[in-house]
């Protein structure tokens, strides 16, 4: 089956993904510890236009998360918006279909669910 924009797939994290996601979350936790709410008001840092607080459960290599296809490059290479277990997401670029870490796969169908149906005209 060919991936198309807006389809949901499963993405398996690899070590580089894990490092980036956990580092952003650790950086935010450190920022929170260093800046008490009384220290500043939102928007009071000069030159800053805002930031997102990255928080959620730690991730590990091989874990799978749902991901939305945001761009295709023909065949099975895609860019993905990975939905993490937290308030943030991860952008996985130029990823191929497969079962290894760093690749995406189609989610399994629930038992008894029919396969793809032909387009209705």
Please give the model's pTM, rounded to 2 decimal places. Answer: 0.78
> What's the residue count for the chain?
121
Count CA within 13 A, CB hemisphere, residue 12.
13
Residue 94's pLDDT is what? 97
Q: What gap in Å lies between CA 102 and CA 17, rounded to an integer? A: 8
Domain boundaries defined on the chain: 1-35+60-108
Where b means 16+ CB within 10 Å and e means fewer, 52-80 reads eebebeebeeebebebbbeeeeeeeebbb
Residue 51's pLDDT is what? 65
Neighbours of 29 (CB within 10 A): 13
Which is nearest to 56 in space by CA: 78, 20, 88?
88
Q: Tell me the pLDDT tens digit for each residue of 46-93.
A: 555 566 777 789 999 999 999 999 999 989 999 999 999 998 999 999
Which is nearest to 55 in space by CA: 82, 89, 17?
89
């Amino acid at each position: 089956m060919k991936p198309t924009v807006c389809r949901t797939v499963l993405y398996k994290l690899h070590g580089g993904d894990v490092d980036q996601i956990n580092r952003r979350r650790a950086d935010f936790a450190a920022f929170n510890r260093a800046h008490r709410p009384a220290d500043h008001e939102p928007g009071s840092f000069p030159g800053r236009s805002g930031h997102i607080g990255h928080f959620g459960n730690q991730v590990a290599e091989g874990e799978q998360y749902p991901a939305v296809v945001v761009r295709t490059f023909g065949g099975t290479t895609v860019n993905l918006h990975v939905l993490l277990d937290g308030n943030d997401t991860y952008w996985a670029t130029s990823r191929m279909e497969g079962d290894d870490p760093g690749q995406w796969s189609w989610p399994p169908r629930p038992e008894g669910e029919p396969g793809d149906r032909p387009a209705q005209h």
